[in-house]
Amino acid sequence: MSTKYDYDVIEDNGGSIGLYVFSASTDKCVYAHEYTDDNQLVKDLARLDAGEDVSTWDNNLLVDEEYPGIPHSSELPGWEIILNCKAGEGHKSYPERADTRGSEFLALLRGKQ
């Protein structure tokens, strides 16, 4: 059986893009990663959409407890959700929230779909 997650793609005020994956049943953050390669982020979103289990993924910032238990609904200053997905539903993008890097990522994602 495939594992299903909720996730957010967040652009921060420094131009970084991160993926934050949440357990659909507990709403706790279970995986966090900051990306320098937008193509890898597109690939990882496809892996999530295919039902892959993030517990086997490398580079989880939560392992280092840099981001312990980020609440799904929190509003963090300088962070904008530019894409999100609820388990079993499609992506919802927010281009009006995106700055330069986020806009480039969303354009790349649209081109891959």
pLDDT value at residue 70: 60
pLDDT value at residue 73: 46
pLDDT value at residue 3: 52
For residue 11, the tally of other CB atoms under 10 A from its CB is 25
**Tokens describing residue 91:** 């992506």
Show the CA angle centred on residue 107, arms to residues 111 and 6, nearest 5°: 90
pLDDT value at residue 66: 52
Domain boundaries, the chain: 5-112
* DSSP E strands, 1-113: 5-12, 17-23, 29-35, 79-85, 91-93
Share of the chain above pLDDT 90, in %: 37
> Rounded CA gap, 108 and 101, in Å?
11
Q: Which residues of the chain have pLDDT under 70?
A: 1-3, 62-76, 113
pLDDT value at residue 1: 38
